[in-house]
């Protein structure tokens, strides 16, 4: 019988940057023409935001923030090593990276090759500066688990979930940053990551994936929004039912599986609540409180409108995990909860230990 360790974390892109470049995205957002000038004026910023910036333009906050993130990833890495999985199902989104105009599947399970190389800093020949000081041709070798991917996909289809799958990327040489960053962070000390990985894509961005290019393009566009929005993401209830089915399939398999959702919570640049500059802390706290008491109905009943207004698009990754944990009657441990005004999104680190 299969066994599951549930984990939730983040793939926050700016954490890959050198510390002195970590607020570049914050300033990029503030430069967007579609942001109300009142949100650009420091005189209107909440005192918590000014305190986080401090009198050194955020430098002390950056150092503290990074250390806190690494401490959480080291702890999660230890949990994964101790669990010794056959493979890890890594649930993440695609931000107009591998899936574009030619196809936007609601989900996709990747059955990668046994050896699969990532070159996160190659950037089309323009080496990307990074916090590890690694060169553009630096390579992270990860391992796929095609048999595991086949069995999960087959089990889901037999259970009535018409699950798409792929054996190689479509538009990328590697994987989307949701997957790549999570693996980089779980190996922040660069010991290598020996556990095979089965990426599990969720179309979190829905009607925003093309308009925002999976990030902030909508804040820079001058043309009006299309008359009809693009089709939506799968709903929270649907994601949770897929997660529940996934848990049952894994339980019926011979595998030990880490089921890890990777995403920050409210993304400021996806939420009008804080003028596209400040995350929706109120919505995040509501979801966190519900998670702490394992109130799965509160998660399941969230509407897509609520998800989109709060910038909770990427929380749909966590909805798949939540559906699995609800199915297994697991209780969460909130290992850390990190709110911010200048790092774009609140971060949750959670674990759901084996009963
Ligand atoms: Fe993301």
Tell me the per-residue pLDDT of 106-145, one tens digit each, with 9 for 90 and over: 999 999 999 999 999 999 889 999 999 999 999 999 999 9
Cα of 227 vs centre of ligand 1, distance in Å, is 26
Q: To 5 degrees, how large is the angle CA 120–CA 125–CA 130? A: 40
Q: State if pTM tops 0.95.
A: yes
Cα of 1 vs centre of ligand 1, distance in Å, is 33
Cα of 113 vs centre of ligand 1, distance in Å, is 24
Cα of 237 vs centre of ligand 1, distance in Å, is 20
Cα of 182 vs centre of ligand 1, distance in Å, is 10
pLDDT tens-digit map of 301-349: 999 999 999 999 999 999 999 999 999 999 999 999 999 999 999 999 9
Region 6-27: mean pLDDT is 97
Cα of 10 vs centre of ligand 1, distance in Å, is 8
Phi, psi (rounded to 5 degrees) for 8:
-130, 135
Phi, psi (rounded to 5 degrees) for 193:
-120, 100
Cα of 98 vs centre of ligand 1, distance in Å, is 13
pLDDT beyond 90 at 259 = yes
| Cβ–Cβ under 8 Å, residues 345 and 326 | no
If one looks up domain 3-352 in CATH, what number appears? 3.40.830.10
pLDDT tens-digit map of 180-233: 999 999 999 999 999 999 999 999 999 998 888 878 999 998 888 889 999 999
Give the burial class of 74: count Cβ atoms within 10 A of its Cβ; 0-12 exposed, 13-18 middle, 19 or more buried: middle
| Cβ–Cβ under 8 Å, residues 327 and 247 | yes
In the structure, what pLDDT confidence band is assigned to residue 250 with cuts at 50, 70 and 90?
A: very high
| Cβ–Cβ under 8 Å, residues 342 and 49 | yes
Cα of 13 vs centre of ligand 1, distance in Å, is 8
């Amino acid at each position: 019988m299969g066994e599951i360790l549930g984990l939730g974390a983040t793939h926050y892109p700016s954490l890959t940057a050198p510390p002195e470049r970590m607020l570049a995205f914050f300033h990029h957002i503030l430069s967007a023409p579609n942001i109300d000038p009142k949100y650009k004026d420091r005189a209107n910023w909440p005192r918590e935001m000014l305190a986080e910036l401090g009198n050194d333009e955020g430098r002390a906050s950056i150092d503290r923030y990074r250390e806190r993130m690494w401490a959480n990833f080291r702890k999660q890495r230890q949990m994964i090593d101790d669990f010794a999985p056959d493979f890890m199902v890594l649930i993440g989104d695609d931000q107009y990276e591998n899936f574009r105009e030619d196809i936007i599947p609601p989900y996709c399970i990747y059955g990668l090759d046994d050896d699969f190389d990532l070159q996160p800093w190659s950037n089309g020949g323009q080496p990307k500066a990074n916090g590890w000081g690694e060169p553009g041709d630096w390579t992270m070798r990860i391992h796929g688990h095609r048999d595991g991917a086949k069995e999960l996909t087959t089990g889901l289809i037999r259970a009535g979930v018409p699950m798409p799958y792929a054996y190689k990327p479509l538009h990328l040489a590697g994987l989307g940053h949701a997957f790549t960053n999570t693996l980089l962070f779980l190996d922040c000390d660069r010991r290598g990551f020996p556990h095979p990985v089965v990426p599990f894509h969720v179309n979190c961005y829905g009607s925003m994936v093309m308009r925002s290019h999976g990030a902030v393009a909508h804040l820079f566009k001058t043309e009006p929004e299309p008359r009809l929005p693009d089709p939506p993401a799968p709903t929270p209830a649907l994601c949770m039912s897929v997660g529940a089915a996934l848990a049952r399939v894994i339980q019926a398999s011979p595998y030990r599986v880490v089921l890890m959702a990777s995403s920050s919570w409210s993304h400021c640049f996806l939420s009008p609540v804080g003028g596209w500059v400040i995350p929706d802390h109120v919505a995040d706290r509501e979801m966190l409180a519900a998670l702490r008491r394992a109130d799965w109905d509160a998660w399941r009943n969230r509407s897509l409108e609520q998800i989109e207004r709060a910038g909770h698009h990427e929380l749909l990754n966590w909805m798949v995990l939540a559906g699995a944990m609800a199915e297994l009657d697991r209780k969460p441990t909130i290992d850390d909860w990190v709110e911010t005004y200048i790092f774009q999104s609140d971060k949750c680190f959670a674990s759901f230990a084996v009963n």
